[in-house]
Amino acid sequence: MKVIHLHIAVHHREPNPNPIRDALQSLPGSGSVQVTIETDAGVNGSGEVGFGRIGGAPDVLAALIEQELKPLVLYTDPAYVRATHTAMVQETEYHGTFGLATFGIAAIDTALWDCLGKALEVPCWQLWGGAQTRIPAYAMVGWLNYSIGHLQEICEQAVSQGFRGVKIKVGSPTLRKDIGRIKAVRAVIGDDIDLMVDANQSLTTAEAIRRGRAFQDLNCTWWEEPIAADDVDGYATLVQALDIPIATGENLYTRMDFARFLRRDAVDIIQPDLRRAGGPTAMLQIGTLADAFRRTYASHGGGPVQLNVMACLPNAVYLETGLLGPDSPFKLEDGCVPIPQGPGFAWS
Ligand SMILES: [Mg+2]
């Protein structure tokens, strides 16, 4: 089987006039780039990466894929997906295998695995070997621009849908304000639902320790991205200073960043992002590496690619997703999402 075409589709999205917001930035949305790989066997695979902001980013990424990555993929055999992944990492090294380079690698890597699964008519987790049949799920619903009333309403809705946990944004101007939001949510979800807090890199290490002590006293489940994502020294300090587990990883790039954090004992729960990690090939490596360090894996975002990866990791503990809508491709079973059974990354 050989790749004979690689199609790039840029999907632009009108920015949301009322964007969601975390402690770092507003996220009006700006579209996505979808890669479709066509083979001489008549089997196709696709991979898509989205952008929460930066209007021009999808067009810039499309150019990077067209000019730098596509030539490395054409006429290769999708069965050698890991070789192609290595070639793409090497090719982008000159300007840095970070940022848009890993977004492009992720889209192509996803498309190649999808293609391979479809050619063999099995889900990708079966290609890799399964470890779990379903993954507990929590709902990321508590954006920082929501009023207390709306925050309570949406968290209550998540619990009524069967989620085992909810996550809210913190990093308000004052700790007192953060505590008020956490207490308001706890009042409506009860004591048995997990409550995660996420500051999106907004604090100093000293402030993250001060707030982390308050959050652990409020029985929060984990303390996510309290400080700048690249501050490995700061994260190592937080892991030492606090009892609450420290979660990070959605803004780390490639397995090398994760290796640095794991070696320094600077993270308790890793959260690789499909786009920044560099696709399923990298996410599997990162998850396995964390398992060797006895650290757990929670997804950043929830979709069929994340679920297929987590199905193969014994240390995968929690899937992040939003509220279930009428078109949701899965139903929760006992607070868990069943692993997709469709070929490649198809849901069914
Ligand atoms: Mg986060």
Burial of 269 (0-12, 13-18, 19+ CB in 10 A): buried
Separation CA 135–CA 335 (nearest Å):
8
Mean pLDDT across 116-144? 98
Q: Residue 262: its pLDDT value, please?
A: 98
pLDDT in tens, 15-36: 999 999 999 999 999 999 999 9
Contact assessment for residue 246 and residue 238, using Cβ atoms and an 8 Å cutoff: yes
User: Can you give the C-alpha Rg of the chain in angstroms?
Assistant: 20
Please identify which of the residues 70, 118, 167, 300 carries the catalytic annotation.
300
Measured in angstroms, how far is the CA atom of residue 248 from the centroid of ligand 1? 8
Measured in angstroms, how far is the CA atom of residue 299 from the centroid of ligand 1? 10
Mean pLDDT across 308-333? 96
E strands present in 239-315: 246-248, 269-270, 296-298
Domain boundaries, the chain: 3-120, 125-338
Exposure letters 64-74 (e unless 16+ CB within 10 A, then b): bbeebbbebbe
Mean pLDDT across 117-129? 98
Measured in angstroms, how far is the CA atom of residue 343 from the centroid of ligand 1? 30
Q: Residue 112: its pLDDT value, please?
A: 98
Please identify which of the residues 150, 169, 177, 331 carries the catalytic annotation.
169
Measured in angstroms, how far is the CA atom of residue 255 from the centroid of ligand 1? 18
Active site residue 150: no
Contact assessment for residue 1 and residue 41, using Cβ atoms and an 8 Å cutoff: yes
Q: Residue 34: its pLDDT value, please?
A: 98
3-120 and 125-338: identical CATH topology: no
Would you say domain 3-120 falls under CATH 3.30.390.10?
Answer: yes
Mean pLDDT across 170-186? 98
Mean pLDDT across 319-337? 96
- Please state, for a pLDDT cut of 70, what percent of the chain lies above it: 100
Contact assessment for residue 127 and residue 120, using Cβ atoms and an 8 Å cutoff: yes
Would you say domain 125-338 falls under CATH 3.20.20.120?
Answer: yes
pLDDT in tens, 210-259: 999 999 999 999 999 999 999 999 999 999 999 999 999 999 999 999 99
Measured in angstroms, how far is the CA atom of residue 224 from the centroid of ligand 1? 6
Q: Residue 116: its pLDDT value, please?
A: 98
State the pLDDT confidence band at 141, using cuts at 50, 70 and 90.
very high
pLDDT in tens, 33-65: 999 999 999 999 999 999 999 889 999 999 999
Burial of 88 (0-12, 13-18, 19+ CB in 10 A): buried
Separation CA 171–CA 275 (nearest Å):
25
Contact assessment for residue 182 and residue 220, using Cβ atoms and an 8 Å cutoff: yes
Active site residue 177: no
